[in-house]
Structure 1
C-alpha cells in the first residue's frame, strides 16, 4: 500500500492506527450510520486499506497500534479470512457497503457496535477477547457458527433481519463462548440458531424480540450453559427448541409472550434444567413439550400452561408456587398422549415432599378416574363402584357412611316387619340391628341371619343387603391394599 494512493481520509486513518488513537469522523454524536450511503469522500475508507493496515500497518515507537475508527463509510469487502490480526479492531458507528469476511480468522478483539452491515461472515473465527455487536444493525445473515470467543459476545439492542429463506439470520451453532452471551433487547426477524453451542456463562435475552412466525424462532437444541438462559419480558413468535439442552441455572420465561398457535411452542424434551420458570406472562400459545426432561425446580403457574402439553417421563424435584391440586390437575388432562400415569406420580410426589397429603390423595384419586376411562366397560363399571363407595381407597369414610345408611334402612324395615323364624322353638330373640349386620357383614355372624327367613320383597331387600355388603367389603379391601402398596 503506497501512501500516494491514499485519500486524505485514509491518511488520517493510517496515522491514527500507528499511534493507536481513536479517530471519529462523525460531525456530531447524533450522526446516523443508516445514512452512511450518502456520506462523502471526507469520511469514506476503502476496505482493502483497512485490511493492509491490520496485516502489515505502520508502527509508532512507544505506541500499540489499533484500528479504532468511528463514523466511517467503508466501501468494498473487508476480507480477513484465515488472517491472524494482532491488533484490536474497533469499527463503531460505521456503514459497511459489503459484509465483512472473517472466516477462520484469529483476532484479539472485534467491535462493530452501532454500525450498519449487510451481514457478517465469521464462521470459525477465534477471538481472544470479546466480540461486540452492541446495537448493530444487520440487514443480512450474521454467520458465527463454530466461533471461539474467549470472552463474551455482546448483542444487546442489535437488530438483525435478512431476506426470507432457509438460512438462520443469526448463526451461533456449535459456537464456544468463554463467558456470557449478552443480548438483552436483541431483535431478530428470522431464526436465531444456537444448537450445539457451549456458553460458560449466562444467555441473556431479556426483552428480546425473536420473530419467525410458524417456524423456528429460537433453535437451541443441545445448547449447554453454565449459567442461566433468561427470556424475561421477551417476545418469541415461532417455536423455541431446547431439546437435549443442558442448562445449569435457570430457564426464565417470566413475563414472556410465547406464541406459535396450532403448533409446538417450547420443545424442551430430554433436557436437563436447574430451574424452569414459566410465570406472570400470558398463556403460552402452542404446545409445551417436556417429555423426558429432568428439572430440579419447576416454577410454573397454572395460568401460563397452554392448552396442549407433553409430560411423559418428565421428572422434577420441587414444584412452585404451591397451588391446590384442583388447579394443577387440568394441566395433566391436557396431555396430547392422553392418560400418562407418570405425570400423576410426579405431581403426587411433589405434594408429598411439601407435606400436603390431602392434595396428593386428590391427585391419586384423579389418576384412578382417568385410568378408568381407558378400561373396557366391565372395568369401568367396577371402577365406578370403587369410586362411589370408597373413592378408590382414598376416601374410606364413604364405606362407613354406606354401611350406616344401609344399617339404618335394614334395621327400621325389619323392626316394623319381623321375618319368620326357621325353627320357632330354637330361634333366638329377633334383633333388627344385628340381623341387618349379619346380612351386611360377610364374615362376622351374630346368629340372626341363619335363624330367620324373610318373605316377599323383604327377602329381596335381604339379598340386596348381602350383595351390597360383599361389594363394600371387596372395595374396602381393594382400597386398603392400594393404600398399603403406595406406602
Structure 2
C-alpha cells in the first residue's frame, strides 16, 4: 500500500508506526466509543491499512515500531489470520465495525481495552505477552478457544453479550494462560466456556455479573487453576459448573449470589479443591452438587447452604467454622440421594479430628436414626428399642440408668415377696438384689436364679427382667462393637 493512497487520518497512523508513537483521535477522555459509528473521516481508519502496517509497515533505524491507536473508527475487518506480528498492537477506545480475526495468529501483545467490538475471533491465537480486554464491550462472541497466552488475560469490567445466538459468548475452552485470568467486574449475557482450560496463576471473577438463566452461566469442566479462584461479591444467574475441575488454592464464593432454581447452582462434582469457601452470601437458589469432590478445607456456613444437596462420596480434611452438630445435621437430611452413610461418617470424622467427641457421637446417632427409616417395620421396631434404651450404644449411661431402675424395681418386689426355693433343703439364703442381678445379667450368675422360682405376677416380672436384660446386653455389645470398629 502506497502512502499516497491514505487518508489524512491513516497517514498520521502510518507515520507514527515506525517510531512507536501513539495516535489519539479522541476529542475528550470521557467520550463513548459506542458512538463511533457516527465519527467522520478525520478519525476513520480502514482495517486493511492497519493490516498492511502490521505485516509490512515501514521501519526506522534505531526505533521500535508499534501500533498504538486510540479513539478511531475502524472500518472493514482486521484480518490477521495465521499472521506473525513482532510488535505490540494497541487499539484502545476504538469502534470496530466488524469483529477482528486473529485465528492462529502469533502476536507480541494485543490490547483492545475500552473499545467496542461486534466480537473477536481468535481461536488458537498465541500471545507472547498479555491480552487486554479491559472495559471492552463486545456485542458478539469472544472466541479464544485453544489460545496460548504467555502472560495474563485481562477482562476487568468487560461486557460480553451475543443476543440471538446459543453459542457461548466467551469461549476459552482448551486455552492455556501462563499467568492470571483477571476479570473482576466482568459482565456477560450468555455462557462462559472454560472446558479443559488451564491457568498457571489465579482466576479473579470478583464482583462479576454472569447471567444465563436456566442454563450454565459458567461451564468449566476439567478446568485447572494452580492458584486461587475468587468469585467474591459476585452474582451468577445460571449454574456454575466445575465438574472435574482442579483448583490448587481457594475457590472463594464469599458474599456471592448463586441462582439456578432449575438444578444445581454449584456443580463441583469430582473436583479437587484446596479450600472451598461458601460464606456470608445469600442462601443458594438451587442445589449444591459436591459428589465425589475432594477438599482439604470446606468452609461452609449452614445458612449459606441450599435446600437441596448432593454429598455422596464427598471427602474433606476439615470443616469450618466450628458449629454444633445440631446445625450441621439438617444439611445431611436434605441430600437428594436420600440416606448417604458416607456423608455422616465424614462429618463425624471432622468433629473427631478437632476433639469434639460429643458432636461426633451425635452425628453417629443421627446416622443410625436416619438408617432406621430405610428398614422394614421389624427393623425399625428393633432400632427404636436400641435408640430408647442405649441410644444405639452412643449413650451408655442411659443403659446404666435402665439397669439401676430395673434392679431397684426387682429388688423391692422380690424383697416383699420371696420366691419359693426349688429344693428347700439345698437352696442358699435368698437375697433379692443378687436374685435380680441374676435375672438381668445373663453372663453373670450368683446362684440365685436357678435356686428359686417365682409364681404368678412375680413370674411375669422375672420374665420381663430376663428379656430386658438380654436387650440391654445386646445393644451395649453392639455399641461397643461400633466404637471399636471406628477406632
Which TM-score bucket, shorter chain as reference? over 0.9
Structure 2 matches for 1:60-79, cutoff 5 A? Answer: 60-79=60-79
Quote the residue 2:324 is aligned against: 324
Quote the residue 1:31 is aligned against: 31
Unaligned runs of 5+ in 2: none
Structure 2 matches for 1:429-448, cutoff 5 A? Answer: 429-448=429-448
**Aligned-pair CA distance for 1:17:** 1.1
Which of 373-382 and 266-275 deviates more? Answer: 373-382
Q: Does 1:235 align with 2:235?
A: yes
CA-atom RMSD in angstroms: 1.3
CA distance in 2, matches of 1:229, 1:369: 39
**Aligned-pair CA distance for 1:448:** 2.7
Secondary structure at the aligned position of 1:81 is classed as: coil
CA distance in 2, matches of 1:57, 1:486: 75
Offset from partner CA, 1:36-85 (integer Å, 9 cap, x none): 11111111111111111111111223211111000001111111111111
Quote the residue 1:476 is aligned against: 476
**Aligned-pair CA distance for 1:106:** 0.7
Quote the residue 1:12 is aligned against: 12
CA distance in 1, matches of 2:228, 2:372: 42
Unaligned runs of 5+ in 1: none
Quote the residue 1:221 is aligned against: 221
Offset from partner CA, 1:361-406 (integer Å, 9 cap, x none): 1111111111222222222222222211111111111111001111
CA distance in 2, matches of 1:4, 1:262: 62
Q: May I ask how many residue pairs the two structures share in their alignment?
A: 487
Secondary structure at the aligned position of 1:258 is classed as: strand
Q: Does 1:247 align with 2:241?
A: no
CA distance in 2, matches of 1:82, 1:94: 23
CA distance in 2, matches of 1:96, 1:191: 23
Quote the residue 1:403 is aligned against: 403
Offset from partner CA, 1:322-377 (integer Å, 9 cap, x none): 11111111122211111111111211221111111111111111111112222222
CA distance in 1, matches of 2:164, 2:72: 29
CA distance in 1, matches of 2:199, 2:465: 71
Secondary structure at the aligned position of 2:298 is classed as: strand
Offset from partner CA, 1:245-266 (integer Å, 9 cap, x none): 1111111111110010131111
CA distance in 2, matches of 1:477, 1:38: 87
Structure 2 matches for 1:443-462, cutoff 5 A? Answer: 443-462=443-462
TM-score (normalizing by structure 2): 0.97
Quote the residue 2:40 is aligned against: 40
CA distance in 2, matches of 1:18, 1:452: 117
Which of 22-31 and 429-438 deviates more? Answer: 429-438
**Aligned-pair CA distance for 1:428:** 3.6
**Aligned-pair CA distance for 1:447:** 2.9
Secondary structure at the aligned position of 1:196 is classed as: coil
**Aligned-pair CA distance for 1:425:** 4.1
Quote the residue 2:169 is aligned against: 169
Secondary structure at the aligned position of 1:163 is classed as: coil
